[in-house]
Chain A
Amino acid sequence: MNLIELNDPEYFQELYAATMPESARPVPSYGIEDPLRGLVPGEVEVREGAPKQRLLRYLRREILPTTFCVGCGGGTVLNTFTHAIDEMKIDPREMVCVTGIGCSSWIPSPYFLCDTLHTTHGRAIAFALGVKVMKPEMKVIIIAGDGDLAGIGGNHLIHAARRNIDLSVFLVNNFIYGMTGGQVSPTTPFGVRTTTTPYRNVEHPFKIADVVAAAGGSYVARWTTYHPFQLMESMQAAIRKQGFSFIEIMSQCPVSYGKTTGMREGIDILKYLRDASVNVDDAKGMSEEELEGKIVIGKLAERRRTEFCDGLRRLNQERRQALAAEFGVGAESGR
């Protein structure tokens, strides 16, 4: 039963039934299929008969356009995320996007057409925990900003990583509180001017992905909006990973971050992200001084640990089986 119909329901029906003609099937519209290497970023592939703007079917079209400012990185993240979901053939009816307060929280909510839970400031991960525990078969994805997840909600972030609950958290780090007009955030670089550090920022920023890796995250990566292809693959790995997965996405806010740092165009910050980025493998050979001011990109951690909801379920199963034996009734396969 759909209260709101899927956009283009036949598309999804055919997609999941695998009866879709090859020409209409979702193809990477931004890359080329290499026979040896698979999908590689490159020229946009145009295929005869393939529908244009086909990712629109994943969005709540009636509320478009988005509220993002010109040059904002939010659109890139939404585009990348939608591509990732499309390629993974995840049924949007099996997804919940949970967000907090801030511009970045608007990336999936309300634009992405799935169940969306737009919560209070900082609490997205805590709300998502309740959803995931009750609906472990659903993909629960959190997209929110640095102020929301690393600032006011930082405690929930590290504890979710510690528990290793199967959530995919995409933290969009634009170095600033953008929605409220450019106040210093826990990820604003040292020495930078903002509206609440009008002389300079005297605090040191979090390297928040490193914090999550240390707290026990099962998959932790950092990318930037300058690297959408790598980011998309990373998002897919994060969603696929059983356990707490986290990507810090360095993004641009030319309006609120740009106005006090002089990078007033989106492209200015994108160039900064490009120039400051250092691949994680290259970073291994660099000293702390050399890495000062750099953004280490790539996969920072991957490990296997018991997933939280799985642990809860196994515990219930054991208890229920013991009771079933005691009462002589059949136990269920576990809930």
Chain B
Amino acid sequence: MSKPPENAALTNRYLEKLAAKAHFIQGDEAAALGAIFAGCDFFGGYPITPASEVAEVMARELPATGGYYVQLEDELASISAVVGAAWAGARAMTATSGPGFSLMQENIGYACMTETPCVVVDVQRSGPSTGQATLAAQGDVMQARWGTHGDHEIIALAPASGQECFDLMIRCFDLAEEYRTPVIFLMDGEIGHLRERVVLPHPDEIERFPRRKAVAGQDVFGGEMVPPMLEFGDGGFVHVTGSTHKANGMRDVQTQAVHDRLVRRLVAKIESARERIAMVEVDAEDNATVAVLAYGATARPARGAVLGARRAGRRVSFVRPITIWPFPIRAVRDACRGLRRLLVPEMNLGQLAREVERHVDCEVVPISRIGGVIHSSRELYAEIEKAVS
């Protein structure tokens, strides 16, 4: 069963109008507009600081583009509705922060297991628990990676500016479709609430990765690395289950080989695409012995410190992973070759530093800052001074 014909020209005219305006907006708002331009047509969410602005903009914009905003009773329902909507054909998303992200974990696993494309925005705030509700942190790096139970791979991107909130959001939707997986947009409260100039592209410039549909005789849950999908109402009698299943979707929880084949493929489809998914900004300095690796909001004072150190004659490189998961091993390793020390400032107690340590040969120095106050360029500059001497 197909949707009633939609007036695409009308949507396009509306997006053109949005793009023509100059925007001075928060990261949350930019992310929401990115989703609108990516063709998101279902948002299920629940209010939470500092992610509520994403929901507010989606509620405002979705009716204009023919999509649906639903505010659910909790985050459990939000992610559930998102997965349901995706199987009914939607490009679907939700947005939350740490506590809500924790509540969503079970069904993020369900989305991994059922290979459901969807986007989960996590605007990280200071935890654990209610923590400092209004203050930023980067404490969900590992929750994004391992929050749900069982072996799995996940894709997570971290923006460092309002413009990236918009641009990378579109990338998140494409990655979700390309690999049929949930994608985590790992923002943080600083970036989410930071107000910046954001330039929106003309809607015609955006190419959307289309959903690949199964044809007769094709399996929806196996047969190839990323199998084609079906939506409800296609007449395919698709059976979607979070239980271990065979390539045709039918449950088989007793056969070791069935589980092994399924879960290894779910991991391999993302693991094998690591370098294609990897996005890393590298600003290398010749003969540098020290580099700073930072992501998200922390990348901003880190870059300031690097530039300051260079003005003072220090040879310092700057590395910014945009893709956090799967960790961009090759790009980071290449950027850190020949270094003596790598400084990793984070608004947590060293979550990504540990991962970085596994992949680089130099000494990794975590510069941890918690408590809701971001590092200053001045203090990071002092750390660089210490590291080069």
Expressed in whole angstroms, the minimum distance between the Cβ of A162 and any Cβ of chain B is 9
Expressed in whole angstroms, the minimum distance between the Cβ of A134 and any Cβ of chain B is 4
Q: Is B137 an interface residue (CB 8 A)?
A: no
- Inside 8 A of B74's CB, which chain A residues have their CB? 155
- Select A130's contact among B82, B214, B238, B248, beta carbons within 8 Å: B82
Contact in complex: B80, A123 (CB < 8 Å): yes
- Inside 8 A of A335's CB, which chain B residues have their CB? 3-4, 6, 66
Q: Is A135 an interface residue (CB 8 A)?
A: yes
- Inside 8 A of A3's CB, which chain B residues have their CB? 214, 216-218, 220, 230, 236-238
Q: Is A233 an interface residue (CB 8 A)?
A: no
Contact in complex: A127, B81 (CB < 8 Å): yes
Given contacts A119-B110, A126-B81, A131-B232, contact A1 B73 (CB under 8 A): no
Q: Determine, out of A26-34, A68-76, A321-329, the stretch whose residues face the partner at the interface.
A: A321-329
Contact in complex: B44, A115 (CB < 8 Å): no
Q: Is B233 an interface residue (CB 8 A)?
A: yes
Compute how far the CA of A98 lies from the CA of B248 in the bound complex, rounded to whole angstroms: 18
Q: Is B360 an interface residue (CB 8 A)?
A: no
- The chain A residue with its CB closest to the CB of B78 is A126
Expressed in whole angstroms, the minimum distance between the Cβ of A3 and any Cβ of chain B is 4
Q: Determine, out of B26-34, B86-94, B159-167, B196-204, the stretch whose residues face the partner at the interface.
A: B86-94
Q: Is B77 an interface residue (CB 8 A)?
A: yes
Compute how far the CA of A114 lies from the CA of B239 in the bound complex, rounded to whole angstroms: 8
Contact in complex: B80, A332 (CB < 8 Å): no
Q: Is B235 an interface residue (CB 8 A)?
A: yes
Contact in complex: B235, A2 (CB < 8 Å): yes
Contact in complex: A131, B84 (CB < 8 Å): yes
Q: Is A255 an interface residue (CB 8 A)?
A: no
Contact in complex: A134, B106 (CB < 8 Å): no
- The chain B residue with its CB closest to the CB of A322 is B64
- Select B239's contact among A110, A130, A329, A334, beta carbons within 8 Å: A110
Expressed in whole angstroms, the minimum distance between the Cβ of A201 and any Cβ of chain B is 27
- The chain B residue with its CB closest to the CB of A123 is B80
Compute how far the CA of A333 lies from the CA of B248 in the bound complex, rounded to whole angstroms: 37
Given contacts A324-B10, A335-B6, contact A120 B110 (CB under 8 A): yes
Contact in complex: A135, B89 (CB < 8 Å): yes
Contact in complex: A330, B7 (CB < 8 Å): yes
Compute how far the CA of A119 lies from the CA of B106 in the bound complex, rounded to whole angstroms: 11
- Inside 8 A of B7's CB, which chain A residues have their CB? 320, 324, 329-332
Contact in complex: A110, B251 (CB < 8 Å): yes
- Inside 8 A of A312's CB, which chain B residues have their CB? 68, 70
Residue-by-residue, is A89-113 near B (CB-CB < 8 Å gives 1, otherwise 0)?
A: 0001110101000000000011001
- Inside 8 A of B4's CB, which chain A residues have their CB? 332-335
Q: Is A315 an interface residue (CB 8 A)?
A: yes
Compute how far the CA of A92 lies from the CA of B63 in the bound complex, rounded to whole angstroms: 31
- Inside 8 A of A334's CB, which chain B residues have their CB? 4
Expressed in whole angstroms, the minimum distance between the Cβ of B150 and any Cβ of chain A is 13
Contact in complex: B83, A130 (CB < 8 Å): yes
- Inside 8 A of A116's CB, which chain B residues have their CB? 237-241
Q: Is B312 an interface residue (CB 8 A)?
A: no
Residue-by-residue, is B225-245 near A (CB-CB < 8 Å gives 1, otherwise 0)?
A: 000001011111111111100
Given contacts A329-B9, A332-B5, contact A130 B241 (CB under 8 A): no
- Inside 8 A of A117's CB, which chain B residues have their CB? 84, 87, 232, 240
Most buried by A among B42, B68, B90: B68
Contact in complex: A115, B10 (CB < 8 Å): no
Taking CB atoms and an 8 Å cut-off, the chain A residues in 159-184 that contact chain B are: 159
Contact in complex: B233, A135 (CB < 8 Å): yes
- Select B233's contact among A138, A155, A315, A327, beta carbons within 8 Å: A138
- The chain A residue with its CB closest to the CB of B14 is A323
Contact in complex: A115, B232 (CB < 8 Å): yes
- Inside 8 A of A332's CB, which chain B residues have their CB? 4-7, 10
Expressed in whole angstroms, the minimum distance between the Cβ of A79 and any Cβ of chain B is 20
Expressed in whole angstroms, the minimum distance between the Cβ of B388 and any Cβ of chain A is 52
Q: Is A299 an interface residue (CB 8 A)?
A: no
Taking CB atoms and an 8 Å cut-off, the chain B residues in 210-228 that contact chain A are: 214-218, 220
Expressed in whole angstroms, the minimum distance between the Cβ of A149 and any Cβ of chain B is 13
Residue-by-residue, is A121-139 near B (CB-CB < 8 Å gives 1, otherwise 0)?
A: 0110011111111110110
Expressed in whole angstroms, the minimum distance between the Cβ of B190 and any Cβ of chain A is 31
Taking CB atoms and an 8 Å cut-off, the chain A residues in 288-335 that contact chain B are: 312, 315-316, 319-320, 323-324, 327, 329-335
Compute how far the CA of A334 lies from the CA of B66 in the bound complex, rounded to whole angstroms: 8
- Inside 8 A of A319's CB, which chain B residues have their CB? 63-64
- The chain A residue with its CB closest to the CB of B9 is A329
List chain B positions with a Cβ less than 8 A from chain A: 1, 3-7, 9-10, 13-14, 17, 41-42, 44, 63-64, 66, 68, 70, 72-74, 76-78, 80-90, 92, 106-107, 110, 214-218, 220, 230, 232-243, 248, 250-251
List chain A positions with a Cβ less than 8 A from chain B: 1-4, 60, 63, 92-94, 96, 98, 109-110, 113-120, 122-123, 126-135, 137-138, 155-156, 159, 312, 315-316, 319-320, 323-324, 327, 329-335
- Top 6 closest pairs, chain A to chain B, by CB: A130-B84, A130-B85, A126-B80, A134-B88, A130-B81, A126-B77
